[in-house]
A and B are shown apart, each in its own frame.
Chain A
Amino acid sequence: MDWPGAIFEQLKAADVRQLAHVPDAGHARLLRLAEAEPKVRVVTLTTEEEGIALLAGAWLGGQRGVLLMQSSGVGNCINMLGLAKTCRLPLLMLVTMRGEWAEFNPWQVPMGRATPGVLAAMDTAVLRIERAEDAAETVAGAVRLAFEGGPAAVAVLIAQRLIGAKTFGK
């Protein structure tokens, strides 16, 4: 099942116009879809917290955005998450997980294990996708919570088991 395609359809339906990211292999298909969509501006960041500030500016200017990163990037975002909280700005994040199921790189494990706790510590709502067939519904729910239910900071964690364990053998 094309779960990245299903996620992208939800982002388009939500009128997401700015997509900020630090690339992750798990987001590669979603990024290709976004780059082919003229209504979506893709911004490649040097570090993930830039995306929180970018999307704050986007919202001030009347546009919705989404921030894509891998779990290691969540740690880079901690202080900047305070911007969304303090100003009650919507913030939608899609986080591909490393350091959990079938991880082969021990350097990914600490931040992967800490990711839900770090997000919770900054009062970010955390949803999780384990199965491809749940991707569309979960992202739709996250969109509604982020942009209408708060506004609020919402992170959707995409399970490593869904993405497939990374190897360097490909």
Chain B
Amino acid sequence: MSLDRDRAERLSLRRRPLVARLLEGADELAVIAGLGAPAWDCAAATGERALTFPLWGAMGGAAMMGLGLALAQPRRRVLTVTGDGELLMGLGALVTIGAAPAANLAIAVLDNERYGETGGQPTATAGVLDLAALARAAGFREALTVRDQAEVERARSLLLSAPGPVLVDFKVRAEDLPIVMPEKDGATLRDRFRRALGVA
């Protein structure tokens, strides 16, 4: 077995304060939050936020939703916040985004090396898989792995302002946290997001 089930419990970065820092003061940022813990993290950080679209399903689609939004809104920064399992389900999206690059698109992966909602089964990132290397190979302008708090500010700056597409793979501790549920009615989320962008 090449996966290390326990490694993620020793990682130092904590996802909740990390996401809170990424979104702090970024009022104009449009956010797509992948299903499960990344959506809970965003809700915990900001409460209900019109320009955050949390997904409750559509696993594998968060990065592509970010691309469609970024192409439609080229002057606005778009950040997809998602998990390693969610990204892995739609891994071809990295190829599609690399080939159809949007300078305003960034992806933050909260990589706890687990399928956290289903019992903590290890994902491929618990082994040799290097998501940042994949993104670089696909043509992302910036892609890096962040393990330490000391690297967070530079990573945040890249995510929020460097020419994209940018991907940061944040290696975060596997931990059980309280679930903070955002709005789940899809039409409500759609309408409030579009109104906040002024396109409704």
Contacts and interface: CB of A to CB of B under 8 A. Distances in A.
A99 interface: no
A15 to B, nearest CB: 12
A74 interface: no
B199 A61 contact: yes
14 contacts: A43-B67, A44-B100, A45-B96, A50-B92, A50-B96, A52-B61, A53-B90, A58-B71, A60-B65, A61-B69, A61-B70, A61-B73, A62-B199, A83-B58
Interface of A: 17-18, 41, 43-47, 49-63, 65, 79-80, 82-83, 86-89
A87 B68 contact: no
B96 A46 contact: yes
A56 B68 CA distance: 7
Contact of B61 (A17, A56, A58, A88): A56
A115 B70 CA distance: 31
A47 B65 contact: no
Given A62-B73, A79-B59, 4 more contacts: A44-B100, A52-B61, A53-B63, A82-B58
B72 A17 contact: yes
B58 A47 contact: no
A31 to B, nearest CB: 14
A58 B190 contact: no
B137 interface: no
A143 to B, nearest CB: 18
B186 A44 contact: no
- Judged by DSSP, the binding face of B is helix
Nearest to A41: B71
B186 A88 contact: yes
Interface of B: 30, 32, 53, 55-73, 90, 92-93, 95-96, 99-100, 186-187, 189-190, 193-194, 197-199
B174 to A, nearest CB: 26
Contacts of B32: 57
Contacts of A60: 53, 65, 68-69, 72, 190, 193-194, 197
B69 A45 contact: no
A60 to B, nearest CB: 5
A46 B90 CA distance: 10
Contacts of B96: 43-46, 50, 54
A50 B100 CA distance: 13
Contacts of A62: 72-73, 194, 197-199
Contacts of B100: 41, 43-44
Contacts of B99: 44
B83 to A, nearest CB: 15
A54 B187 contact: no
Given A43-B96, A82-B58, A83-B61, A57 B72 contact: yes
Contacts of A82: 57-58
A61 B93 CA distance: 19
Given A45-B96, A86-B186, A87-B190, A53 B73 contact: no
Contact of A50 (B55, B64, B186): B64
